[in-house]
Amino acid sequence: MTHTLKTWQKPSITPHQLGTLNKFGRPVGGDYVEKIDGVAVDDLLRDYGSPLFVLSEKRLRDNIRQLKRAFESRYQPVIHAWSYKTNYLNAVCATLHQEGSWAEVVSAFEYEKARALGVPASRILFNGPHKKRAILERCVKEGARIHIDNLDELYLLDAIARELDIFTSVTIRLNFETGYTEAWSRFGFNLESGAAFDAAIRIGNSSHLKLRGLHSHVGTFILDTRAYQVEVEKLCDFMELIEQQAHALIDSLDIGGGFASQNAVQGLYLPTEQVVPTMSQYADAICSTLITKTAQREAQGKPRLTLILESGRAVVDDAEVLISSVVGSKRLPDGRASYIMDAGVNLLFTAFWYNHKVKPTRSLQGIAEETVLYGPLCMNIDIVRQSISLPPLSVGDSLVISPVGAYNNTQWLQFIEYRPAIVMVHENGEVSVIRRAENLADINSFESLPDHLNGQFNFSE
């Protein structure tokens, strides 16, 4: 029998909502992502497997250039320091260092990673609450800029600088109320309580430490630019105070990170484009306040302050996607469609607070309906999307999840699954593996088995 067979699509029936047309009954088949920076998703999956993280070098460079332009057109000099914890893949860091970004690290590991990549210590800002003597000694010898978090660290650093007899410029981290953000009061010295002032005086009395920088990081995913205005005002007021009373001459104000990315925070119902300020709006708020607050200081002939930014997620988030494939489907008892994906919260830590965009990689036929996307873990919390409108999917269908560039490749878990490969699409369209997929030998290489536990397993017949 020879006749052409009709195309099959998974049968599905969707009830109409009472009164209105089904809110999910809108065909979305046209909305799909076939290529990433010109490279076919199918080719990527064939060559590198699923799931797969894909980074766009072009997008990353565009983002950092846009940030620099927004700020430098309003104020100079500006330094962007790349917040390693946001994404410390070497290829990401190297791209940003090529664009002129310094390194902002928060642990000995991150410091070593930046140094191993070839970043000079003088271009590293060392933040964070945990710095042991050995790494502090190394930083002092190599000349990194240490951001002091607490009094114990201050005394230890002072002792080290004296022992090594090295004059060391330092920054202190401050925390305070902005009125627009939750105070991150566990990091740095509190302004309102006077702890910050005491620390500045203490450094002023040190023979080897010089207080040159003030730093604060007022939060993350900050949607109200007024938070930054208050931050800059408070930093400037404090600077004036300590320059008068604590023999300090400040060379830089580091306002931390916190600019939001185009990602949908759970519980926030307005479209992201409506709530996330543009880079120009952030830059306006920050630079205009800074210029006003430092005009008098400049008139006195003091050196112009360097503005340091540590923006993380806004730079890298939308430069990376995760491609994941459907491995199974299930109708939930309440009628919703659900799918099991080969990537879950093990790879997508940010699924706990974002509703990521999820797009099919081909035009899907059928009526979109309310759908839950589960990951592969044997855990209830492993949900990629709690509720999303998708047409019926089949096993093997792939989905592009975005944006995923911030915090996923650093906070991911090696829990019951291997972590997959990460590739970068370069500006010329070439693709390279920037982190290969894990295998059993990798994981086992950390372990050793005591001799008497090797074999002789005693299974009953």
Partner 1 sequence: MNTQHHPEHPLDSFLAVYSDSLKRLALNDSGFVFDPMSGQSFTVNPCGLELLKLMQKQADVTLIEQQILQEFAVSADVLERNFLEFSEQLRRYLK
Residues of the shown chain interacting with partner 1 in the complex, contacts defined by CB under 8 A: 1, 5-16, 22, 25, 329, 331, 335, 365-367, 392, 394
Neighbours of 150 (CB within 10 A): 18
Contacts with 97 (C-beta within 8 Å, 6 or more apart), sequence order? 82, 103, 117, 118, 119
CA distances from 176 to 193, 220, 226, 230, 349 (A): 9, 15, 14, 10, 29
- Contacted by 282, from partner 1, ligand PLP, none: CB < 5 to 8 Å by type: none
Angle, nearest 10°, between helix axes 57-72 and 90-98? Answer: 40
Instruction: Please identify, using beta-carbon distances, which residue of 288 and 329 lies nearer to partner 1.
Output: 329
Q: What's the DSSP call for residue 222? A: B
Which of 29/204 has CB closer to partner 1?
A: 29
Q: How far apart are the C-alpha atoms of 113 and 111, rounded to whole Å? A: 5
C-alpha–C-alpha distance, residues 191 and 172, integer Å: 11
31 Rama sector, left if φ>0, alpha if ψ -120 to 50, beta otherwise = beta
Q: Which is nearer to partner 1, 8 or 269 (CB)?
A: 8
The least distance separating partner 1 from the CB of residue 337, rounded to whole angstroms, comes to 9
CA distances from 239 to 36, 211, 242, 378 (A): 47, 10, 5, 52
Which residue, 3 or 452, has its beta carbon nearer to partner 1?
Answer: 3
3-state secondary structure of 240: helix
Sole residue written with tokens 């070098």: 57
Q: Among partner 1, ligand PLP, none, what does residue 220 contact (CB within 5–8 Å per kind)?
A: ligand PLP
Q: How far is the CB of 55 from ligand PLP (least distance, A)?
A: 16
Indicate which of partner 1, ligand PLP, none lies near residue 386 (CB less than 5 to 8 Å, by partner kind): none
Q: How far apart are CA 436 and CA 420, in angstroms?
A: 7
Cβ(382)–Cβ(297) below 8 Å: no
Q: State the CB neighbour count (10 A cutoff) for residue 367.
A: 17
Query: What is the C-alpha separation between 39 and 436, in angstroms, rounded?
Result: 19
Q: Least distance to ligand PLP from the beta carbon of 259, Å?
A: 6
Judge contact between 102 and 80, C-beta under 8 A.
Answer: yes
Q: Which is nearer to partner 1, 286 or 364 (CB)?
A: 364
Rounded to 5 degrees, what are φ and ψ at 432? -135, 150
Residue number with CB closer to partner 1 (306 or 329): 329
- When the beta carbons of 12 and 278 are compared against ligand PLP, the nearer one is 278
Q: Which of partner 1, ligand PLP, none sits in contact with 25, Cβ below 5 to 8 A by type? A: partner 1
To the nearest whole angstrom, how small is the minimum distance from the Cβ of residue 312 to ligand PLP? 3
In the complex, minimum distance from the CB of residue 218 to ligand PLP, in angstroms, rounded to a whole number: 10
The minimum distance between CB 392 and partner 1, in angstroms, equals 7
Choose from ligand PLP, partner 1, none: what does 26 bind? Cβ within 5-8 Å by kind: none
By C-beta, is 49 or 366 nearer to partner 1?
A: 366
Nearer to ligand PLP, 263 or 294 (CB): 263
Q: How far is the CB of 21 from partner 1 (least distance, A)?
A: 9
The CB-of-3 to partner 1 minimum distance in angstroms stands at: 9
Q: Choosing among ligand PLP, partner 1, none, which partner's interface includes residue 63 (Cβ < 5 to 8 Å by kind)?
A: none
Residues in touch with ligand PLP (CB under 6 A): 83, 86, 104, 127, 217, 220, 256-259, 310-314, 406
- Minimum Å distance from CB 407 to ligand PLP? 7
Partner whose binding site includes residue 8, from ligand PLP, partner 1, none (CB under 5 to 8 Å by kind)? partner 1
